Chain A
């Protein structure tokens, strides 16, 4: 449809804006900078999984907006006050100003409770979206060269997000958040040699002290958000510079990017999606209660509610802390609380180090130093996918540990049995998950090869003159075949030379041997895609069909990714 269109500079509004726009461009050179840095028609490829990072970005904006609103009333002070306000059950109780001002926001400010709940839901969503986005990037190999730096920035964002979430959780100074702080106090004390000093410096004296809430408030509304904003900016800049990855497909190559232009479609979809995320979190804040701090009461170090839980993203640490054997030893006249330090502090360090190192380890193993802009289907990197699922399994097992009391009471199970299940399961289940996932990937690779070589099942049953029945297979459309064969061919594995021609041990041969082992582990069992010869042979076999080519019929519309004809769907 072509309709009449007036160029924007010739419309009445455009004519009015021409002056100010020129004034700005005279000074800022916007057109030139925009053309280089962010062309108005910059292309972004489309896939539902590319939306996950967007959820994280938009929920961060929601957090900024609702957080600013909350600061209008929140008093980050541990000074003592006696509550006298609209929430009657707590009247006359001594509490900190932080807690009483949070009660005021919840009961005295119209829309205050809504904003608190939206803020908390958006925080849960922020971390969840970051985690899922990261899984997407991991399982599709999007972190490979040249995007390793952006992977590390993302990891930094996730780490900061966890700290930011914890700081916010601690601010209201209610019984639950105080219990969380007490837990962190225990973690800090467990740090070898310097634990006591860190505790007294961070809390400004003995727990709980007078300082921790003002300090956490500063970190929560200034320091960490500033770092988050800076890193998000860098994350986005690199995305724009390196251009988004895309799925392989007809016409989509390592050297181009195919999709909709920023203006109008992508800007509209992404911008519209901001409103969807904000609206969604607002509806959650309207309908689903979260963190009813008035029900917990003010913090009191001698009280706790059964079933105290951290926010979901700290659940795995909580679980590890719960199931850890009670190792504590005295060495060099110091007490080493391994029962707290290993699961509470070391575990996160190990997890984040492993995640940060993975892109480099993988490229060392595969020896792949090329740039990658096409995503890899998880099945085509069986060991990576299996590692990822093993890691997720371990995370999930620890999570079960973190909820062992709730699980025990809801399902009438023995708490001790659940604890022992986690103690053993965190090692055993990831190994099983690894093996199973790898086999599934290889099975899927075989199925893909099969679809190329034997076509898809047409649903047409034939009877031969001698009475036997068979189903006709027909070749997949070329576009589908292309997608199924667009990944890398497996490399040829060779053992490294241990000695040179003169019988002298080759330099660095130990490293080379290790790498060769890792390499054969990495590619073990993976199924290569069919060769040109295989495909020609298959085409002959499928096309000919004993001299009776398969008619596809008029309603044939190609086949879906799973090889089922679309007209049958």
Chain B
């Protein structure tokens, strides 16, 4: 077996062992527009018409820009968007079609043959360049002065350090991944209105999207304590859902027997897979489905994963009732919320130790 296959194929079209010889380029075929002056003039008119219509459409764009209002509609389309887009796009399309028509019908259509050359440089060029390269390297003395070379390499390598170190302030070091704002006594409030929730307001089968009360807390001036990005960061870990099931349907695992209030349980709303908020609730089966990647959790069975790519069960928030009868958290989440991260196993151990 050799590396070099025999040169075959069309390049050697006339070689004896090729079954069919290369008949050569076919004769040029004249187009109708080449031989018929009427057709030629017709094509010329076609092309000019296309260009002329294009100009008209661009004018139409300007008219539409000043006359069509944003709230007008046209056949169900946004009138302004349609008028601007149709005139602009139509004009462009006409120019393009006109140019191509011109090329196909009227421009010369004789095919030309161009010879190829090997991509490689010629041997003389290679030799000449290598002579120059060697002369240059020789004059630099880089081979004779290893100390200079090595110290240069050292310092260039060390240049990588500032480049990497300077990126350090892109962000803070990872922190607080195992904690959320939930703490003992914080009220569970409706996520839109911010009103606290009483157990008797919930029907069996009902699901309420909720947030920690701190998100709605206001300071003396009536400004929210948490807002903007800070509020989003809190929400992205502390958002919860509150569901009410029949107490006899619930099978709490050991130690979780008193985490609910009359069949009302509270779970993290953030999927343990990649962090989508989960909210597709199947009343009858007590399943909660994540709309992003379809991980399914059984809320009657401690948030266990029953289908999909999520691995960890949905963390449960222990619930209680305060003196005014509103639902409150009894602690922060005993399990880590949101998507997994490399230090999760260690952080979970720390949480377990503290509880």
Can you list, as one digit per residue, whether each of A468-509 has a CB less than 8 Å from chain B (1) or not (0)?
Answer: 000000000011011011111101011010000000000000
Minimum CB–CB distance from B267 to chain A (whole Å) comes to: 13
A330 at the interface (CB under 8 A from B): yes
A186 at the interface (CB under 8 A from B): yes
Tell me the complex Cα distance, A111–B64, Å: 10
- Residue in contact with B22 in the complex, picked from A80, A253, A306, A494, CB distance below 8 Å: A253
Q: Are B108 and A264 in contact (CB under 8 A)?
A: yes
Q: Are A479 and B23 in contact (CB under 8 A)?
A: yes
Tell me the complex Cα distance, A282–B57, Å: 13
Query: Whose C-beta in chain B lies nearest to the C-beta of A343?
Result: B309
Q: A250-B23, A452-B19 are in contact. Are A202 and B1 (CB under 8 A)?
A: no
Tell me the complex Cα distance, A349–B134, Å: 40
Minimum CB–CB distance from B193 to chain A (whole Å) comes to: 14
Q: Are A110 and B84 in contact (CB under 8 A)?
A: yes
Q: Are B81 and A86 in contact (CB under 8 A)?
A: no
Q: Are B26 and A304 in contact (CB under 8 A)?
A: no
- Residue in contact with A374 in the complex, picked from B10, B78, B343, B345, CB distance below 8 Å: B10
Contacts of B277 in A (CB 8 A): 301-304
Contacts of A210 in B (CB 8 A): 229
Tell me the complex Cα distance, A268–B342, Å: 57
A164 at the interface (CB under 8 A from B): no
B131 at the interface (CB under 8 A from A): no
Can you list, as one digit per residue, whether each of A115-147 has a CB less than 8 Å from chain B (1) or not (0)?
Answer: 001100000000000000000000000000010
A272 at the interface (CB under 8 A from B): yes
B292 at the interface (CB under 8 A from A): yes
Contacts of B89 in A (CB 8 A): 278-286
B25 at the interface (CB under 8 A from A): yes
Can you list, as one digit per residue, whether each of B260-283 has a CB less than 8 Å from chain A (1) or not (0)?
Answer: 000000000110011111011000
Minimum CB–CB distance from A438 to chain B (whole Å) comes to: 22
Interface residues of A in 268-290 (CB under 8 A from B): 268-269, 271-287
B340 at the interface (CB under 8 A from A): yes
A29 at the interface (CB under 8 A from B): no
Contacts of A211 in B (CB 8 A): 170-171
Contacts of B85 in A (CB 8 A): 114, 117-118, 282-283, 285-287
Minimum CB–CB distance from B84 to chain A (whole Å) comes to: 5
Instruction: Please choose the segment from B94-102, B144-152, B320-328 that sits at the chain A interface, where 4 or more of its residues have CB less than 8 A away.
Output: B94-102
Q: Among A318, A366, A486, find the residue whose CB has the most chain B CB atoms closer than 10 A.
A: A486
- Residue in contact with B229 in the complex, picked from A78, A253, A307, A416, CB distance below 8 Å: A78
Q: Are B239 and A279 in contact (CB under 8 A)?
A: no
Interface residues of A in 320-364 (CB under 8 A from B): 321-328, 330, 333-337, 339-340, 343-344
Q: Are A241 and B77 in contact (CB under 8 A)?
A: no
Counting chain B residues whose Cβ lies within 8 A of the other chain, the interface size class is: 35 or more
Tell me the complex Cα distance, A366–B1, Å: 11
Q: A250-B25, A265-B109, A302-B209 are in contact. Are A272 and B103 (CB under 8 A)?
A: yes
Tell me the complex Cα distance, A169–B90, Å: 27
Q: Are B292 and A371 in contact (CB under 8 A)?
A: no
Q: Are B99 and A200 in contact (CB under 8 A)?
A: no
Tell me the complex Cα distance, A383–B24, Å: 31
Contacts of B80 in A (CB 8 A): 110, 113
- Residue in contact with B95 in the complex, picked from A272, A306, A324, A343, CB distance below 8 Å: A272
Contacts of B21 in A (CB 8 A): 478, 482
Minimum CB–CB distance from A101 to chain B (whole Å) comes to: 16
- Residue in contact with A208 in the complex, picked from B109, B114, B229, B291, CB distance below 8 Å: B229
A464 at the interface (CB under 8 A from B): no
- Residue in contact with A260 in the complex, picked from B111, B270, B342, CB distance below 8 Å: B111
Q: A330-B345, A534-B19 are in contact. Are A186 and B274 (CB under 8 A)?
A: yes
Minimum CB–CB distance from A72 to chain B (whole Å) comes to: 16
Query: Whose C-beta in chain B lies nearest to the C-beta of A180?
Result: B292
B196 at the interface (CB under 8 A from A): no
- Residue in contact with B65 in the complex, picked from A110, A257, A340, CB distance below 8 Å: A110
Tell me the complex Cα distance, A277–B98, Å: 14
B13 at the interface (CB under 8 A from A): yes
B158 at the interface (CB under 8 A from A): no
B302 at the interface (CB under 8 A from A): no
A1 at the interface (CB under 8 A from B): yes
Q: Are B294 and A404 in contact (CB under 8 A)?
A: yes
Query: Whose C-beta in chain A lies nearest to the C-beta of B228?
Result: A80
B11 at the interface (CB under 8 A from A): yes
Instruction: Please choose the segment from B115-123, B198-206, B250-258 that sits at the chain A interface, where 4 or more of its residues have CB less than 8 A away.
Output: B115-123
B318 at the interface (CB under 8 A from A): no
Apart from A256-B116, A333-B345, what are 11 other A-B pairs with CB-CB below 8 Å? A118-B85, A197-B174, A200-B175, A206-B236, A256-B115, A268-B103, A279-B93, A282-B93, A285-B81, A322-B308, A373-B116
Binding site for B on A (CB under 8 A): 1, 41-43, 78-80, 86, 94, 107, 110-111, 113-114, 117-118, 146, 179, 182-183, 185-187, 189-197, 199-211, 241-243, 248, 250-261, 264-265, 268-269, 271-287, 299-308, 318, 321-328, 330, 333-337, 339-340, 343-344, 366-371, 373-374, 404-405, 415-416, 419, 452, 478-479, 481-482, 484-489, 491, 493-494, 496, 516, 529-532, 534-535
Binding site for A on B (CB under 8 A): 1-11, 13, 16-26, 34-35, 37, 40, 65, 70, 77-78, 80-82, 84-86, 88-100, 102-104, 107-109, 111-116, 118-120, 167, 170-177, 191, 209, 211, 227-229, 232-233, 235-237, 239, 269-270, 273-277, 279-280, 291-295, 305, 307-312, 339-346
List, sorted by A's number, 18 A–B pairs whose CB atoms are closer than 8 Å.
A118-B85, A182-B275, A186-B274, A190-B339, A206-B176, A206-B236, A243-B116, A250-B26, A253-B10, A265-B103, A269-B100, A287-B77, A340-B273, A373-B116, A419-B294, A478-B21, A482-B23, A535-B20
